[in-house]
Chain A
Amino acid sequence: MKREIVIIGGGPAGLAAAIAAKEAGAQDVLILEREQELGGILNQCIHNGFGLHTFKEELTGPEYAARYIERAKALNIPALLGATVIDLGRENGALTVTFVSRSEGLVRMEAGAVVLCMGCRERPRGALNTPGTRPAGIFSAGTAQRLVNREGYLPGREVVILGSGDIGLIMARRMTLEGAKVKCVAELQPYSGGLKRNIVQCLDDYGIPLKLSHTVVDIRGKERVEGVTIAAVDDHLKPIPGTEEDIPCDTLLLSVGLIPENELSRQVGVEISPATNGPAVNESLETSIPGVFACGNVLHVHDLVDYVSEEAAQAGRNAARFVAGEIGSASDDSVKLIPGGMARYTVPVSVSPRRMAEQLTVRFRVKDTVRGGVIRVLVDGEEKLRRRRPVMAPGEMEQAVLKKEWFAGGEKQIEIWAGKEE
């Protein structure tokens, strides 16, 4: 069996990529989704705040997903549900996708192009090496979100949240509304990993304290969590002796970061960027393997689904152009894109002026909070763009738009510089 474009994942990225590919003229687009429905993690993100950018209105996660699902249906894009891709390979130059599902069994097919849309997973508590016991009552925020929002069960009554990622903040409010007492949110860094609006409407509204520069140093309880100890941390993020505070609770929620899920990408040999844990992609959002594109949280973790959709549409269009032979294979005129100053990474990591559209959005994050900041784009040292940004924070993605007209050929390097205005 051979398919023109296979989209791995039917969440917001996969849906937008599939729709854009089909709209760009691809005939045969197939979505493989491991869950029983399309929409991905949006299905459990029942809070509002999605779609302001795309639809100019505030939607809940399921409402946002529904708009894309309807569009995909209208375009007759087939989606296989409950289909988990178990292998992504290359054989005699052709891409192969193998999946299993209850109804189809084990199926191996060739694909003209593949768009990676597998999303991300939550960093587990194990990765933190938190001392203490391992009883019931420790959840990643997303697991708790699913139990509350999809199953209708409360995972605990007295809650401490470690990490101030958006899911943790959202769950602080959600569990409070369901009658739980959220005692505090402890954040290791001196700044929150979540959006400012979520601090206001999820914590401040309910009087939940946010303890910056604090972490959990002990977990107690044999069968069920009975309490945790939090402590302040120093500039090196090490707990400061003497600042410990015991907090009785039956639940610890973790919202300590998201990791792109690139097991399949690694399997096929896609080059992974250590800064994002996602594929290193060029201007077409194409990975180091021709015909394999990546977008959404599998590429780099986003804070806004609107940008996932936008990015994914770009990847879908490029996949369609690729199978139509319109963009050819990766270009030899590639210019390296590098982060400068406080910029931590850039997506993409290289740009082919020949292949790029008239404009290209480069997304990046800063390493630390910058006040009175500026974003600069330098092509071979020459400043092409300078934009003031009063505040930049690691928790919020930044962007800069490159213009095709800046390139005459032969350029070596584009630097995306972020930092304090000098």
Chain B
Amino acid sequence: MERYDVAVIGAGVTGSAVARELSRRAGRFIVLERTSDVGEGTSKANSAIVHAGFDAMPGTLKARMNVRGSQMMPALAAELDIPFKQNGALVVCLNPEELPQLEALYQRGIENGVQGLELLSGEEARRREPNLSEQVCGALYAATSGIICPFALTLGLAESAAKNGVEFRFDTRVTGLEKTETGWRIETEHGPLEASAVVNAAGVFADGLHNLVCAKKLHITPRKGEYMLLDKTAGQHVAHTVFQLPGRLGKGVLVSPTIHGNLLVGPTATDVEDGEDLAVTAAGLAELEEKSALAVQRVPLRQVITSFAGLRAHEAGDDFVLGETAEGFFDAAGIESPGLSSAPAIGEYLAGLIAQKLGLADKKDFDPIRRGVPRLAELPPAERAEKIRENPAYGAIVCRCEQISEGEILDAIHGILGARTLDGVKRRTRAGMGRCQAGFCSPRVMELLARELHMDLRDVRKNGGGSAIVVEKIRGEDAQ
């Protein structure tokens, strides 16, 4: 049986961050992922915000990890070649009676160690963000709040880990965990393996794993958040991320530019039973329309290009569950917001604990630099021309809306953790993420996937499992 020092269960942003931090050390590490790609769970559908860190209660793991993660993000983004921008956030107060809560939020931020906080009057807030509604009577400004691409962050961390020797196994569901003398025997749908330590980064399914081995039980509720993504023509509607004062079920509906220049509205917050329930609801979309209008006026919702839902892993204790909760079993559970912001810090923290526990030495040849798929459309013309001269495939545009070339798609397919599905290509390159939502480019991307990965077009999938796109060949050799 194969033996590893550490097995990380879950290739979301948290698992990938832990894996990357582990890869700074000498040892044999593996990441086990039940879906076909990194970031297929909570990491693919969230607000894509790097929070400043004023929101969580002082002394909580959420507060500590958020502030640290937010501090780490600029340098990390540069190392991993992922776009990140500190566009600043405004938490707006809509009711003069709630101004003390805004003040309290400010104080909490100071206590959490957040830099760059400022309390603004309604007029001052509107001056900085002209589309704020007339109802806004005060705002907390947070200069360090940022926007990031959550797919890029997850992939960047995972590819950096893989580049430094971490093994990734996809379509591999963990079905059982058993304590052994030297660690853990991990049962998967493709057979067992052994590891000295296990990291539980299983997102909305983390309670199931935890409860297999720990006496003190966890209860994770998948909390659905629905979003609307608007066309880039609406991307300038606000410059800052606009939050409303947090309520009982989370941070409420935000309106924010995305790192790629779209406008994002969301999320709702509805507790659901099923950890795979990603259905968008009419009620949820109506709620977004109603609530977003409270803080921001004239949100051009007619420019919506897609709506989607994600699930946050809400743990009953309302904080992250981090650390060694059973001998050699390390939890990274209950990672809801601010999980994306906290991921680098969680990785650093848990990998540190594990290294100490297993006595892992630092690796001298760790390479922190990872290069993503080049973004040709963002290069100055001369550089772009040079790139096309080097590789003519960069001159063949496949996705017209986002101007993504065949060369970029080939890079994504042949990357360290290469794309194997349509969604995999989309998240690595943005092909299909534009205003036509893959109408024109998907047949072309399917062809490239089939050609490069030597598979039949019938086996090209949208994401994992039974998500094949075409069902039958109707002409030519081996047509039904």
Asked if chains A and B are in direct contact (CB within 8 A), the reply is: yes
Interface residues, chain A, CB within 8 Å of chain B? 34, 82, 84, 86, 98, 100-106, 108, 121-122, 124-127, 129-137, 140, 142-143, 146-148, 150-157, 178-179, 217-220, 222-224, 239, 250, 261, 263, 266
Q: Is B121 an interface residue (CB 8 A)?
A: no
Known: A86-B403, A100-B384, A153-B457. Is A126-B279 also a contact (CB below 8 A)?
no
Q: Is B175 an interface residue (CB 8 A)?
A: no
Q: Which residues of A contact B435 (CB under 8 A)?
A: 121, 124
Known: A100-B388, A147-B470. Is A152-B475 also a contact (CB below 8 A)?
yes
Known: A84-B397, A153-B474, A154-B471. Is A126-B306 also a contact (CB below 8 A)?
yes
- The smallest C-beta distance from A370 to any residue of chain B, in angstroms, reads 26
Q: Among A84, A219, A224, point to the contact of B400 (Cβ < 8 A).
A: A84
Would you call A126 and B469 a contact (CB within 8 A)? no
Report the bound CA distance from A68 to B393 in whole Å.
29
- The smallest C-beta distance from B184 to any residue of chain A, in angstroms, reads 30
Q: Among A104, A131, A223, point to the contact of B285 (Cβ < 8 A).
A: A131
Would you call A154 and B470 a contact (CB within 8 A)? yes
Residue of A nearest to B479 (CB): A152
25 A-B pairs within 8 Å (CB atoms) are namely: A86-B377, A86-B397, A100-B384, A100-B395, A102-B392, A102-B395, A121-B439, A124-B305, A124-B306, A124-B437, A125-B437, A132-B279, A133-B278, A133-B280, A134-B278, A136-B462, A136-B463, A143-B442, A147-B470, A153-B457, A153-B470, A157-B472, A178-B474, A223-B466, A224-B466
Report the bound CA distance from A178 to B403 in whole Å.
34
Q: Is B468 an interface residue (CB 8 A)?
A: yes
Report the bound CA distance from A126 to B458 in whole Å.
25
Report the bound CA distance from A72 to B301 in whole Å.
43
Would you call B377 and A121 a contact (CB within 8 A)? no
Would you call A154 and B397 a contact (CB within 8 A)? no
Report the bound CA distance from A127 to B304 in whole Å.
5
Would you call A124 and B466 a contact (CB within 8 A)? no
Would you call B439 and A143 a contact (CB within 8 A)? yes
Q: Which residues of B contact A147 (CB under 8 A)?
A: 443, 470
Q: Which residues of A contact B428 (CB under 8 A)?
A: none
Would you call B440 and A121 a contact (CB within 8 A)? yes
- The smallest C-beta distance from A380 to any residue of chain B, in angstroms, reads 35
Would you call A143 and B395 a contact (CB within 8 A)? no
Known: A126-B307, A132-B280. Is A223-B397 also a contact (CB below 8 A)?
no
Which of A34, A104, A152 has the most CB atoms of chain B within a 10 A radius of its CB? A152
Contacts beyond the supplied A103-B395, A106-B388, A137-B469: 20 A-B pairs with Cβ under 8 Å: A86-B403, A98-B381, A100-B384, A102-B388, A106-B395, A126-B306, A127-B305, A131-B284, A131-B285, A134-B280, A135-B462, A135-B467, A147-B470, A151-B443, A152-B474, A154-B471, A155-B470, A223-B464, A223-B467, A224-B467
Q: Which residues of A contact B392 (CB under 8 A)?
A: 102-103, 105
Would you call A151 and B276 a contact (CB within 8 A)? no
Report the bound CA distance from A345 to B14 in whole Å.
53
Q: Among B285, B308, B377, B471, point to the contact of A157 (Cβ < 8 A).
A: B471
Would you call A146 and B443 a contact (CB within 8 A)? yes
Q: Residues 275-318 of chain B: 1 if any A CB is under 8 Å from the residue's CB, otherwise 0?
A: 01011111011000000000000000000111110000000000
Would you call B467 and A142 a contact (CB within 8 A)? no
Residue of B nearest to A126 (CB): B306
Report the bound CA distance from A179 to B479 in whole Å.
13
Report the bound CA distance from A34 to B403 in whole Å.
11
Q: Which residues of B contact A84 (CB under 8 A)?
A: 397, 400, 403
Q: Which residues of A contact B400 (CB under 8 A)?
A: 34, 84, 261
- The smallest C-beta distance from B156 to any residue of chain A, in angstroms, reads 24
Would you call B439 and A126 a contact (CB within 8 A)? no
Which of A103, A217, A263 has the most CB atoms of chain B within a 10 A radius of its CB? A263
Q: Among A126, A154, A219, point to the contact of B474 (Cβ < 8 A).
A: A154
- The smallest C-beta distance from B387 to any residue of chain A, in angstroms, reads 9
Q: Which residues of B contact A143 (CB under 8 A)?
A: 438-440, 442-443
Q: Which residues of A contact B7 (CB under 8 A)?
A: none
- The smallest C-beta distance from B464 to any residue of chain A, in angstroms, reads 7
Would you call A82 and B472 a contact (CB within 8 A)? no
Q: Among B282, B385, B470, point to the contact of A131 (Cβ < 8 A).
A: B282
Q: Which residues of A contact B276 (CB under 8 A)?
A: 222
Q: Which residues of B contact A129 (CB under 8 A)?
A: 228, 280, 285, 304, 307
Report the bound CA distance from A86 to B439 in whole Å.
19
Q: Which residues of B contact A152 (CB under 8 A)?
A: 473-476, 479
Q: Is B436 an interface residue (CB 8 A)?
A: yes
Q: Which residues of A contact B406 (CB under 8 A)?
A: 102
Q: Which residues of B contact A220 (CB under 8 A)?
A: 279
Would you call A101 and B377 a contact (CB within 8 A)? no
Among residues 322 to 341 in chain B, which have CB atoms less than 8 Å away from a CB atom of chain A? Answer: none
The 6 closest A-B pairs by CB, nearest first: A126-B306, A152-B475, A124-B437, A106-B385, A136-B462, A84-B397
Q: Which residues of A contact B361 (CB under 8 A)?
A: none
- The smallest C-beta distance from B4 to any residue of chain A, in angstroms, reads 30
- The smallest C-beta distance from A363 to any residue of chain B, in angstroms, reads 25
Q: Is B396 an interface residue (CB 8 A)?
A: yes
Among residues 395 to 437 in chain B, which have CB atoms less than 8 Å away from a CB atom of chain A? Answer: 395-397, 400-401, 403, 405-406, 435-437
Residue of B nearest to A222 (CB): B276
Report the bound CA distance from A306 to B465 in whole Å.
45
Would you call B466 and A121 a contact (CB within 8 A)? no
Residue of B nearest to A143 (CB): B439
Q: Is B25 an interface residue (CB 8 A)?
A: no
Would you call A122 and B466 a contact (CB within 8 A)? no
Among residues 261 to 278 in chain B, which have CB atoms less than 8 Å away from a CB atom of chain A? Answer: 276, 278
- The smallest C-beta distance from B275 to any residue of chain A, in angstroms, reads 11
Report the bound CA distance from A261 to B467 in whole Å.
30
Q: Which residues of A contact B282 (CB under 8 A)?
A: 131, 217, 239
Among residues 434 to 456 in chain B, which have CB atoms less than 8 Å away from a CB atom of chain A? Answer: 435-440, 442-443, 447
